Structure 1
Amino acid sequence: MSDPLRPRASLRTAVVWEVLKDALDRRVKAAGREALDVLDTGGGSGKFAVPLARLGHHVTVVDPSPNALFALERRAAEAGVAERVRGVQGDAHGLFDVVDRDAFDVVLCHGVLEYVDDPADSVRNVVAALRPGGTLSLLAAGLGGAVLARALAGHFTEAHQALADPSGHWGAGDPLTRRFSAEQLSGLVGDAGLEVSAVHGVRVFADLVPGVLVDHEPGALDALLRLEAAAAELPAFHSIATQLHVLAERD
């Protein structure tokens, strides 16, 4: 049987899946239960939630979009895991209007902090949703990766603006409100009372390599996946990653 956490031709999520899979295995052993309670804040249509449910875990997805939650319900049903996936409308700011505190073994906060008004408040909330000993998986856009990408695309003014802006915002056409450095994300997590166990750079090279090189060169995809995995753990590459992944534990 294929590994449901193995990304299918996806350079965008490979590193996160591998880190998350290892963290889940450790949490299962520590909790003494095969099925964990997982909260996916901003989980949308279930890109992470459904594969997690296929592993046997119980996943609650909190997302502000009714359309995304409808797609989540459909995806979970098609995967045969509808009984293990619950979608509720809400956001990180009002998280405890829809879920309980201290109720989850693992919390995913992926692609949320780039949009919220108060990232520190959102991190405190997702941390408060964890049980003692629980694990936080935090994924957010990296500042340096955006600067590099804009510069390599020839948008030098936008690259400079992103570099100078404390939020990493490059202009009116920027779809994100803010981006982060690894130090900023680790600081938010630490201030919320968690101990950071690992920081990984995500999509260090994947967004910079022309697709034609990956699609038509034999073995190129696997080689690039291996390169991404190797670079992800090296702090020197965190500053140019498109995204940053922080793994942390609650005492």
Structure 2
Amino acid sequence: MYPTRPRSALRTAVVWEVVRAALEKRAGELGQPVLDIVDTGGGTGNFAVPVARLGHRVTVVDPSPDALFALERRAAEAGVTELVRAVQGDTQTLPELVEPGSVDAVLCHGVLEVVDDPAESLGSLVATLRGGGVVSLLAANRNGAVLARALAGHFNEARAVLEAAEGRWGTGDPMPRRFTGEELALLAAAAGLRVESVHGVRVFADLVPGVLVDTEPGAMEALLKLEQAAAEQPAFHAVATQLHLLATLA
């Protein structure tokens, strides 16, 4: 089961399948069915609630009280209130909120783009892991943004994304930072992680006209299958909107 509605599944299905399989594998390695998981920036529980429905304990750390309120309501509706803990905070306050070496997996989705220091933030997350713990890292892809701006006819902005240190097209760019696959891999290595797999996320979903997906019979299902098939192919990583790294703590 995907964690979102069918239309939104185009954006989350690839990551969900990787995360679900990784948690299942980790639980098997430890010989225990219930894992302790931290979801930083988890907001309203798009991943936390489905993970809790698998039977795992999830602590969601997010700076927004409104998002955490929505998370608690969503967890209650799903019947997993006892497995979901909502904590207001961020990666800077994480050491005060989660005991070091106490969790089996960390979800870090859409966080490194907005923090002041990605390396420091990732280091704080990794510090919460037990040995062999899993990290699911999802971040905006610089090269995918180059393609998107160019296809929209904004050629100067496309070049700016390509050349700017933080992968932005200008002061009006709402994304504070983007990464290449190499940059994410280096961040992971510096934090003591071993990258297990890399997937391209939203390779086609953001390029295909929404009206086509919504009105053409079978188009959404076919596009979803195409996304899943292309996600593992390195040739498509460069054009994906996001990159997903699954890594483990040595």
Q: TM-score w.r.t. structure 1 length? A: 0.96
Alignment correspondent of 1:46: 45
* In 2, Cα distance between equivalents of 1:32 and 1:81: 22
Alignment correspondent of 1:130: 129
* In 2, Cα distance between equivalents of 1:164 and 1:134: 35
SS at match of 1:50: helix
Cα 1:4–1:181 shift into 2, 3 Å: closer
Q: Is 32-41 or 150-159 further displaced after alignment?
A: 150-159
Alignment correspondent of 1:81: 80
1:6 Cα deviation after fit: 7.3
Is contact 1:6–1:17 with CA below 8 Å preserved after alignment?
no
Q: Which amino acid aligns with 1:225?
A: L
2:6 to 5, 8, 15: 8
> Cα RMSD over matched residues?
1.2
Alignment correspondent of 1:112: 111
- CA offsets 1:180-213 (integer angstroms, 9 cap, x no match): 0111101100111111000111001100000122
Cα 1:218–1:4 shift into 2, 3 Å: closer
- CA offsets 1:148-200 (integer angstroms, 9 cap, x no match): 11111122221111111021111122111100011110110011111100011
* In 1, Cα distance between equivalents of 2:183 and 2:5: 28
Alignment correspondent of 1:237: 236
* In 2, Cα distance between equivalents of 1:153 and 1:59: 39
Instruction: Count residues in correspondence.
Output: 249
Q: Where in structure 2 are the equivalents of 1:197-208 lying within 5 Å?
A: 197-208=196-207
Is contact 2:2–2:16 with CA below 8 Å preserved after alignment?
no
- CA offsets 1:129-158 (integer angstroms, 9 cap, x no match): 111111000000000111111111122221
Identity score, percent: 64
* In 1, Cα distance between equivalents of 2:30 and 2:217: 43
- CA offsets 1:84-136 (integer angstroms, 9 cap, x no match): 10011111122111111111111000000000110001111111111111100
Q: Which amino acid aligns with 2:115?
A: V
* In 2, Cα distance between equivalents of 1:244 and 1:4: 19
Alignment correspondent of 1:173: 172
Is contact 1:61–1:86 with CA below 8 Å preserved after alignment?
yes
* In 2, Cα distance between equivalents of 1:182 and 1:129: 24
- Unmatched 5+ stretches in structure 2: none
1:7 Cα deviation after fit: 5.7
Q: Which amino acid aligns with 1:74?
A: R
Alignment correspondent of 1:159: 158
Is contact 1:7–1:13 with CA below 8 Å preserved after alignment?
no
Q: TM-score w.r.t. structure 2 length? A: 0.96
* In 1, Cα distance between equivalents of 2:126 and 2:221: 35
Is contact 1:4–1:54 with CA below 8 Å preserved after alignment?
no
Q: Which amino acid aligns with 1:218?
A: P
Is contact 2:106–2:134 with CA below 8 Å preserved after alignment?
yes
Residue 19 of structure 2 is aligned to residue 20 of structure 1: yes
* In 2, Cα distance between equivalents of 1:77 and 1:6: 16
* In 1, Cα distance between equivalents of 2:247 and 2:229: 20
